[in-house]
Amino acid sequence: MDINILRHSTAHLLAHAVVELFPGTQLTIGPATEDGFFYDFVAPRSIKEEDLDHIQARMWELSQKNYPIEHKQISKDEARVIFKDNPFKLELINEIPEATVGITIQGDWIDLCRGGHVACTGDIKHFKLLNVSGSYWRGKRDGQALQRISGTAFFSREDLEEFDRIRQEAALYDHRKLGKQLDLFSFHEEGVGFPFYHPKGKAVINAMINYLRHEQDLAGYKEVQTPMMLSEGLWHRSGHWNFYKDNMFFCGMDHENYAVKPMNCPGAFLIYNERPRSYRELPLRVSEFGMVHRNELSGVLHGLLRVRAFTVDDAHIFITPDQIESEVLGIIALLKRVLTKYGLTNIKAFLATRPEKAMGSTAIWEKAEAALKAALDKVGMAYEVDAGGGAFYGPKIDFKFTDSLKREWQCGTVQLDFFQPENFDLTYVAPSGQKERPVIVHRALYGSVERFFAVLLEHYKGALPFWLAPEQVRILTITDDAIAYGQDILNQLKAMQVRAVLDQSSDQISAKIRTAQVEKVPMMLVLGKKEVEHNTISVRTLDGKQEMGVSVEAVKQKISALR
Ligand SMILES: [Zn+2]
Ligand SMILES: [Zn+2]
């Protein structure tokens, strides 16, 4: 049986319990989600985390009563009588195109529902309520405010226990907690949803960007920077205004309306169109570490994972239709190399193909989809096909990886686009002298730099690998006599662009080492009287290993090998 059926049935069980415990509660919807379920309510009083145990206990009682779960179709008029006091259900009933609607009955409790349940409430045994949060009716910020209870359910106790174990471990290494402990970033009421990077957090972001910048340079990309805000007319033309305006920030300039960019695409198109292009320039790979702003609902903001301002490692690649396969092959190879550098190897691809309503000829779609498949096959990457799941303007590949806590994350995307070349009248001069339309590839590898950073922090439990660590080396002096020697080594490391710090405080060496360990500094160079005399270094790593009497040259070589 599909686990979504069990989870949706558990959402019913939750709603049943809440209605019994909080009479007068209005139910809205309760779907299964990727890793559980939720139900959204309007309750007579605010439901708190402390209430969850109580609600869960009532759910357990209802499960033990083992009510049969009955589902049947009734006329809309009958349904309107049953749900006469619930404006949400009435709205849903009115929207259902069929003449009848489905209802679910367990015991004396009824819900409006499409169906798909387990047979009896007793089939629901291994479940857990996870949290309470705020939401809005239909996810719209001007909609009625609702309370959401989320939970999960599994078929076996072992699966639930495994979920719980991973969840507890994840809470221990929550990036928001690590961000505070390691002094990486913070959030402030004065800019809700906007991250503030502290020196150490910024050092990691810079390392991530500089590494990718170098890889992209090797792969023939040219980096640009386009403005943070652009005229509203441009966003009308690009179509973003139509689809995205609820999530965009607007402002004015020179008596004209401007919008803060929610995406980087149009800027790249304007650069392309600045002068005539020849086929000789293609593929033209225009990259941008572009900060975008999106007005997410405050309830869904979540540390660096969900913010209102983030940096996309964007690229727009202009190609001829014949270059699709080779270009996508190059992108996937680059993605693989980059993720491997981060220690992420379990990568899966999802290919979304032509939807029913699509623009462009069938011929170009077939050609493009075949090219994407060929590229995935050639690079030997496992993929699933989401038939009909593509955007109307072109097929795409999404990439996901699994982290050390066995969670799956989406990172990069390769999106082909047949629409914007027409829309922005982009052309190149073909060998024949004729003007032709290029195909655009929208591409990101990290996706959001902020989100990728958060995932890395949790994946590595705060102990980032040497090349990425905000502070790579800490020099610790045992006595004041070693300070001058330590300063000299610091200067040499800084000249090599190593992120190094000299701790010359008067603390005991054992305390200095402990502090460096808590702050997850991967390499400690300990300097005492003996080291000064012999011009050597005692090297300690985060795993507790220590090597005495290492020459300065040998330490430098060690460091170079780690970068
Ligand atoms: Zn149902
Ligand atoms: Zn784009």
Q: Are residues 146 and 254 in the same domain?
A: no
| Rounded (10°) angle between helices 552-562 and 483-495 | 40
Our CA angle for 71, 31, 82, nearest 5°, is 45
Q: 439: CA distance to ligand 2 center in Å?
A: 12
Question: What whole-number distance in Å separates Cα of residue 114 and Cα of residue 188?
Answer: 43
Q: Are residues 21 and 128 in the same domain?
A: yes
Ligand nearest to the CA of 261: 2
Ligand nearest to the CA of 393: 2
Q: Quickly list H helices, 392-482.
A: 419-423, 449-459
Q: Are residues 88 and 19 in the same domain?
A: yes
Domain count of the chain? 4
Question: What whole-number distance in Å separates Cα of residue 368 and Cα of residue 356?
Answer: 16
Here the CATH number for the domain that contains residue 96 is 3.30.980.10
Q: 399: CA distance to ligand 2 center in Å?
A: 16
241 lies in which domain range? 227-263
Domain membership flag for residue 24: yes
Q: 268: CA distance to ligand 2 center in Å?
A: 8
Question: What whole-number distance in Å separates Cα of residue 32 and Cα of residue 11?
Answer: 8
Query: Model pTM?
Result: 0.83
Ligand nearest to the CA of 269: 2
Where among 436, 459, 482 does a domain terminate?
Answer: 459
Domain membership flag for residue 116: yes
Q: Are residues 450 and 543 in the same domain?
A: no
Give the pLDDT confidence score for residue 11 in this predicted structure.
97
Q: Are residues 133 and 31 in the same domain?
A: yes
Q: 312: CA distance to ligand 2 center in Å?
A: 10
Ligand nearest to the CA of 15: 1
Domain membership flag for residue 162: no
Q: Are residues 210 and 308 in the same domain?
A: yes
Q: What is the pLDDT of residues 116-141, one digit of tens each?
A: 999 999 999 999 999 999 899 988 87
Ligand nearest to the CA of 238: 2
Q: 205: CA distance to ligand 2 center in Å?
A: 22
Domain membership flag for residue 164: no
Which DSSP helix (H) or strand (E) runs through 153? strand 145-154
Q: Are residues 317 and 439 in the same domain?
A: yes
Mean per-residue pLDDT, 508-532: 96
Mean per-residue pLDDT, 5-26: 96
DSSP secondary structure letters along 73-139: EEEHHHHHHHTTT-HHHHHHHHH--SSEEEEEEETTEEEE------SBGGG--EEEEEEEEEEEGGG
Which of the residue ranges 84-93, 167-176, 405-414 has the most confident prediction, judged by mean pLDDT?
84-93
Q: Are residues 326 and 303 in the same domain?
A: yes
Ligand nearest to the CA of 109: 1
Q: Are residues 216 and 309 in the same domain?
A: yes
Q: 225: CA distance to ligand 2 center in Å?
A: 14
Is residue 157 a contact partner of residue 163, using CB atoms and an 8 Å limit? no
Q: What is the pLDDT of residues 292-320, one digit of tens each?
A: 999 988 878 899 999 999 999 999 999 99
Res. 109 pLDDT band, cuts 50 70 90 = very high
Domain membership flag for residue 52: yes
Q: Are residues 62 and 147 in the same domain?
A: yes
Q: What is the pLDDT of residues 239-259, one digit of tens each?
A: 998 888 889 999 988 889 999
Here the CATH number for the domain that contains residue 280 is 3.30.930.10
Domain membership flag for residue 269: no
Q: Are residues 218 and 232 in the same domain?
A: no
Amino acid at 110: I
Sign of the C-alpha dihedral, residues 202, 204, 205, 211?
positive
Domain membership flag for residue 464: no
Is pLDDT of 414 > 90? yes
Mean per-residue pLDDT, 228-245: 92
Q: 84: CA distance to ligand 1 center in Å?
A: 19
Q: Are residues 231 and 217 in the same domain?
A: no
Ligand nearest to the CA of 416: 2
Q: 384: CA distance to ligand 1 center in Å?
A: 28
Mean per-residue pLDDT, 518-528: 97
Q: 339: CA distance to ligand 1 center in Å?
A: 40
Domain membership flag for residue 92: yes
Q: 44: CA distance to ligand 2 center in Å?
A: 45
Is residue 127 a contact partner of residue 59, using CB atoms and an 8 Å limit? yes
